[in-house]
Amino acid sequence: VANEIFKNRAQVLAENLERWGAKHVVVANESPDQLEKQFPAFFDRILVDAPCSGEGMFRKEPAGIEYWNEDYPAECANRQRHILTSALKMLKPGGTLVYSTCTFAPEEDEQMAAWLLNNYDLTMVELEKAPGMDAGRPEWADGNPELTKALRLFPHHFKGEGHFIAKFVKNGEEPVLPTKKNKKKKGRGQRSKFAPTKEQQALWQDFQTKVLPNYEAGQLVVFGDYLYDLPVGMPAIDQMSLIRPGLQLGVFKKNRFEPALALALATKPATCTQVVEVDEPAWRTYVHGDTLTIQDAPKNDWYLVECDQHAAGWGKLVNGTLKNFFPKGLRF
């Protein structure tokens, strides 16, 4: 699960995960206090890339200086404590918490790590430090020597910007949560409202059987006209604000299924039975949005476009011409 509270940033997050070929990821647009209700003691690992005063990025983004003031680190620290409180409710005992900022402010760095150690049953983990990386500064917090296990990046010591990272393990044994008895409801269940229709199932299965015969979906869900592969083990999604409920498989259009770029980028060409291999000049033609002429063309159908053993997107072959389905907004 990847979460971002601001919707426009959550959209960017979803797009970045798509470009990386991430498969089993749900992108949420929730506040931490709402997210904790859906995932009690759920995660093995949580990364809190905390909103911070951004002092470490002033060189790269000078505009950040304009909204900084002397009270801003304390304001950010208060917000970070609320986020971390929710994060620890979602972390299983024995799970790992990584906390990071892009600021120099001790209130948000060592003092936040000290607050965690003082208020929760956590063990701090030593982070390996490459040459030029600095240890945390206990004297900037409560003097706890454990804080040296954290990592600081100073731009005058290490190439880059300013960052702080600390790693913790949550102590204790995993509780046995009571099994919730779901009352039977008339009509469709809470998840069935997202289930594909029989016609949609048939369209997907026809594509999957021919093109990706070894693909095993977790749970198929439909948002609007878009088909997604929801990861197994996810709690009920009808109470969450989601940007992407898993891997986007494609979209249903007028009795046909059109595969998504996200599915292509998450697919290894070797696992696909219908592939068109292209060289770099042809790849440039493809990502520009133009059609390709295929010599000795196989049967008309959907094909994964492969260049240098990497998937680039989908094309639909019609009588020797590969119609371009690379998204218009991404063409270059």
From the annotation, which residues make up the binding site for S-adenosyl-L-methionine?
A: 4, 49
- The whole-angstrom separation of Cα 212 and Cα 146 is 50
Q: What does the chain come to in residues?
A: 332
| 102 catalytic residue (yes or no) | yes
Residue 155 near residue 161 (C-beta atoms within 8 A): yes
| Catalytic pick among 76, 102, 272, 307 | 102
Binding-site residue ranges: 4, 49
As annotated, the active-site residues are 102
